[in-house]
Structure 1
């Protein structure tokens, strides 16, 4: 399929346009990426198994033209330090990422809810609380790489193993409390927040269509995340 330049009332051709151009579908992909502010830039993604699955990243990369994407996701691990999964806590992993990345995304919180991690207090840096672990990671990244476009994503809804959005965990919190904590940290540090919790459309009625088990996105789920992320990152 080919496209010709057109003006109302007439098709432009070689006879009336100097330097007449035809665009193939293949050309359009490159043209789209040339217009993206992220073309040729690097992106680091921090998070849990949803990030580690590497489902949404290639879709975003193809649309926005990132030259390299670094996947730092660790399955089954929370943001918060401590406990049996401390080895993969995002607050630890994030301190060892490249400090020259152009864009860094933090997508965490659902495992903190599942593993009963305490929220702690906003304004503190205790890595054994969700607020403290998240805030200390934000500060570490921005001190090392102040020019990067750091952005935060709230967790998606879930309905697995009895843990849904209505369940109160052993620490006394619902999933929405962790999502709100992410949004609050975005306000404190003036960082953009992609609110997947409130705007993704994944809920108790649709999770079976977008996930394999009520938690982990399937192909359609990763496409939904990517579609939202593409629009979000274009606006930064």
Structure 2
């Protein structure tokens, strides 16, 4: 099942994310990047923490650059907590009018600028991807969409409804997934759409074999779930260059 001699063999890859990626997460003995190490030969460097949203990842770019300045690629897997904490989606751009030289003639035209703000999901994406592009201009940057969400109860005060329910803003998880798909076009980065192609569907009891706990945690994959994620990522990554 491994791919000996793939373009990812020997590559160092940074992973920015939340509890799906964090090293201190206890929901799986092995995680997707551990399997990717065996399947593709890459070496993972993980910068992730439970509960983190996109806004929390900005400082991790500096840490990754400091610790591993020669990293070959960076993958970002986040967004499910932005949904759960009801972050407004916002817009990628603001629009105004400005004068510009077009073929030697000064004209007034519509002009757009990236929204750079951590108060909206689009603004957070812009901030992080701008920083990644500036910090690692010649490296591969890849976005991963969240997977489907099931019910979770981690404490009396931390009960998370399944994706059947909207968040406090009336938005569903797929609204955030669509935004991440669009971000790929806005910033010219590949998006691996795990929401659509991972095959994981925790809302269905038939998929209990892939989740951490059918009663209290239908949100996080278990070891088998992480292996399925890794196999999906393996073939997606084979279609992308690891280095430039």
TM-score class, shorter: 0.7 to 0.9
Task: Please report the RMSD computed on the Cα atoms of aligned residues, expressed in angstroms.
Answer: 1.8
Q: Distance in 1 between matches of 2:221 and 2:61?
A: 23
Deviation at 1:91, TM superposition (A): 3.2
Pairing 1:211–2:215 present: no
Aligned to 1:46: 16
Post-superposition Cα deviations, 1:156-181, rounded to whole Å, max 9, x if no partner, equal: 11112452223111123110011111
Q: Distance in 1 between matches of 2:132 and 2:160?
A: 35
Aligned to 1:193: 191
Q: Distance in 2 between matches of 1:142 and 1:207?
A: 37
Pairing 1:128–2:126 present: no
In terms of Rg, which structure is larger? 1
CA contact (8 A) 1:107 1:155 kept: yes
Deviation at 1:116, TM superposition (A): 1.3
Q: Distance in 1 between matches of 2:49 and 2:32?
A: 15
Deviation at 1:154, TM superposition (A): 0.4
Secondary structure class of the residue paired with 1:141: helix
Aligned to 1:97: 64
Pairing 1:73–2:48 present: yes
Higher helix proportion, which one? 1
Q: Distance in 2 between matches of 1:155 and 1:229?
A: 13
CA contact (8 A) 2:13 2:72 kept: yes
Please, which runs of 5 or more residues in structure 1 have no aligned partner? 1-27, 81-88
* Structure 1 segments of 4+ aligned residues over 6 angstroms from their partners: none
Q: Distance in 2 between matches of 1:92 and 1:172?
A: 30
Pairing 1:232–2:236 present: yes
Deviation at 1:109, TM superposition (A): 0.7
Aligned to 1:5: none
Q: Distance in 2 between matches of 1:92 and 1:173?
A: 27
Please, which runs of 5 or more residues in structure 2 have no aligned partner? 94-114, 152-158
Deviation at 1:207, TM superposition (A): 4.3
Q: Distance in 2 between matches of 1:210 and 1:125?
A: 37
Q: Distance in 2 between matches of 1:218 and 1:91?
A: 28
Pairing 1:223–2:227 present: yes
Q: Distance in 2 between matches of 1:226 and 1:51?
A: 12
Higher strand proportion, which one? 2
Aligned to 1:140: 131
Aligned to 1:21: none
Q: Distance in 2 between matches of 1:129 and 1:57?
A: 29
Question: Paired residues, what number?
Answer: 197
